A and B are shown apart, each in its own frame.
Chain A
């Protein structure tokens, strides 16, 4: 719905709207310490908002098993079970890119 409105009006409406606090699944809010929510001009760490959930899940699974090499993500992926990973991936997939 926001798409047809002017950006400023859209944000005003969003801010005025009812709050769904804490709707991010457990763990998701920590990810944005490295995976930026805004466009950081100079970051080598990819943004994950708006990526396909299935792709995020694949990366997490392969990092976790060690099949794909990683520096830090393998160590982090091991802290999440499949259900938790699925929820985080679905949440990021639903965010604007």
Chain B
């Protein structure tokens, strides 16, 4: 009965009137969640569904969340940016208090969060899911002003639209240059999906144009699948330059759209810089980020190993073998919410198992995937041996078309589960 009840509560949370939820009152504790992305919005909604007596406050400055998954399809004109936008009404309907402001300081000893609007929130448990920020200092020449000339489009929204407009305004025959940072960064296969979908669009609208992919690595996620697909779909259009062949970009010049590498320089007609990254700035302020710029956590409840009482989820955290993906962020948030409810009740959270599945599109009807199953092992989330891996190399039975459909279905399901 209890399993049935929890599930019903999860399902009911979306349709419940807020008055009913707040009438439960406090009593079970206070949880503050910083950041309303795939991790934070899922955590907030799941916490309320599992324990309605909790007071859950989600701190998020933007009234509209613009999702990154499928934003590469916006670049290729396969979707509108409005299809990427989600509001927090479903989160509020679940009984979560949404504070539309940013967190400016965390005091881990006093257990308080200071907000930009001047308010201060006390917590019993804090969830931090601020996503990424760019490590501007790591790439000479690149800063916020430069991103107006050479967009990153690695936080979806105005940057995505800017890059799409630049591609559309480009002369046929113009060279598109992309730069990819070293690991770790948000969405390991994302740059290669982007290169694929830009090539897809170029082949139709700018057939004389090519794409140069400058990479700070010698290997990448789903590499053979991508390279086989490029040879099949876009022969000669994408040139990938790995680290060992001089792919690492050491500086950029936004005035001339020039990428300088260890081996030379490349002038772009359209330049897309995916900059080096770190956890969202508030993580550094709170003391949960280490010298790498990311946040170490234990693998059961994802509690910071640096500051007790603070759980870090999603892209900001070091999650062992799990990649920085929306699927992973959502999966971690559900595990963490159950663990927090257990901890607040004085119980021990159970050892979790988590799944990740990331789809990438090489064309509108051509999808590939990578999957993994993870569990705690020696203090880390670790791949379960023998599980996971990438799509079959030989596409039999329309597999690529099938995976493109699964990708689109996944996006609708995960955004519904995250935002209600």
Binding site for B on A (CB under 8 A): 2, 8, 11-12, 14-17, 19-24, 26-27, 29-38, 40, 42-45, 49, 69, 71-72, 75-80, 84, 91, 94-96
Residue of A nearest to B387 (CB): A79
- Contacts A/B (CB < 8 Å), 24 sampled: A11-B15, A14-B12, A15-B20, A15-B21, A19-B28, A22-B50, A22-B347, A22-B349, A22-B350, A24-B3, A27-B352, A33-B414, A36-B413, A37-B417, A44-B409, A71-B391, A71-B406, A72-B403, A76-B355, A76-B371, A78-B373, A78-B388, A80-B353, A96-B11
Q: How far is the CB of B5 from chain A (nearest CB, A)?
A: 6
Residue of B nearest to A77 (CB): B387
Q: Which of B4, B14, B369, B410 contacts A96 (CB 8 A)?
A: B4
Residues A11 and B12 in contact, CB atoms below 8 Å apart: yes
Residues B3 and A33 in contact, CB atoms below 8 Å apart: no
Q: How far is the CB of A78 from chain B (nearest CB, A)?
A: 4
Cβ of B143 within 8 Å of any chain A Cβ, yes or no, is no
What is the size category of the interface that chain B forms with chain A? 35 or more
Q: Complex Cα distance A91/B11, Å?
A: 15
Selected interface stretch from B177-185, B244-252, B271-279, B336-344: B336-344
Beyond A11-B16, A15-B12, whether A94 also contacts B413 by CB under 8 A is no
Residues A40 and B16 in contact, CB atoms below 8 Å apart: no
Beyond A15-B21, A26-B350, A96-B8, whether A33 also contacts B330 by CB under 8 A is yes
Q: How far is the CB of B190 from chain A (nearest CB, A)?
A: 18
Residues B412 and A75 in contact, CB atoms below 8 Å apart: no
Beyond A71-B391, A71-B403, whether A24 also contacts B4 by CB under 8 A is no
Residues B373 and A45 in contact, CB atoms below 8 Å apart: no
Q: How far is the CB of B93 from chain A (nearest CB, A)?
A: 12
Cβ of B267 within 8 Å of any chain A Cβ, yes or no, is no
Residues A15 and B417 in contact, CB atoms below 8 Å apart: no
Q: Complex Cα distance A45/B8, Å?
A: 21
Beyond A21-B341, A71-B369, A72-B406, whether A33 also contacts B349 by CB under 8 A is no
Chain A interface SS verdict (over half): loop
Interface string of B314-345 (1 = CB under 8 A from A): 00000000000001001100110011011001
Q: Which of A11, A30, A35, A36 contacts B353 (CB 8 A)?
A: A30
Residues B406 and A14 in contact, CB atoms below 8 Å apart: no
Binding site for A on B (CB under 8 A): 2-12, 14-17, 20-21, 24, 28, 50-53, 327, 330-331, 334-335, 338-339, 341-342, 345, 347, 349-355, 357, 369, 371-373, 375, 384, 386-389, 391, 397, 399, 402-403, 405-406, 409-410, 412-414, 416-417
Residue of B nearest to A29 (CB): B334
Residues A30 and B6 in contact, CB atoms below 8 Å apart: no
Q: Complex Cα distance A79/B2, Å?
A: 26
Q: Complex Cα distance A38/B347, Å?
A: 29
Residue of A nearest to B348 (CB): A22
Beyond the given A34-B409, A36-B416, A40-B412, could you list 18 further A-B residue pairs with CB under 8 A, ordered by the A residue number? A11-B9, A22-B338, A26-B352, A26-B375, A27-B373, A29-B335, A32-B413, A33-B330, A33-B414, A37-B10, A37-B11, A43-B412, A44-B405, A45-B406, A71-B391, A76-B387, A76-B388, A94-B7
Pairs A-B, 4 closest by C-beta atoms: A79-B373, A79-B387, A20-B2, A21-B341
Beyond A30-B353, A69-B397, whether A75 also contacts B371 by CB under 8 A is yes
Beyond A15-B21, A22-B349, A45-B406, whether A38 also contacts B51 by CB under 8 A is no
Q: Complex Cα distance A41/B380, Å?
A: 38
Q: Complex Cα distance A23/B1, Å?
A: 10
Residues from chain B with Cβ under 8 Å of A38 in the complex: 11, 14, 416-417
Q: How far is the CB of B298 from chain A (nearest CB, A)?
A: 16
> Which of B14, B28, B347, B355 has its CB near the most chain A CB atoms (within 10 A)?
B355
Q: How far is the CB of B248 from chain A (nearest CB, A)?
A: 32
Residues from chain A with Cβ under 8 Å of B352 in the complex: 26-27
Residues A15 and B331 in contact, CB atoms below 8 Å apart: no
Q: Which of A44, A79, A95 contacts B4 (CB 8 A)?
A: A95
Q: Which of A30, A43, A44, A71 contacts B355 (CB 8 A)?
A: A30
Residues from chain B with Cβ under 8 Å of A35 in the complex: 413
Residues A21 and B20 in contact, CB atoms below 8 Å apart: no
Residues B410 and A79 in contact, CB atoms below 8 Å apart: no
Residues A11 and B20 in contact, CB atoms below 8 Å apart: yes
Residues B10 and A21 in contact, CB atoms below 8 Å apart: no
Residue of A nearest to B409 (CB): A43
Residues from chain A with Cβ under 8 Å of B330 in the complex: 33
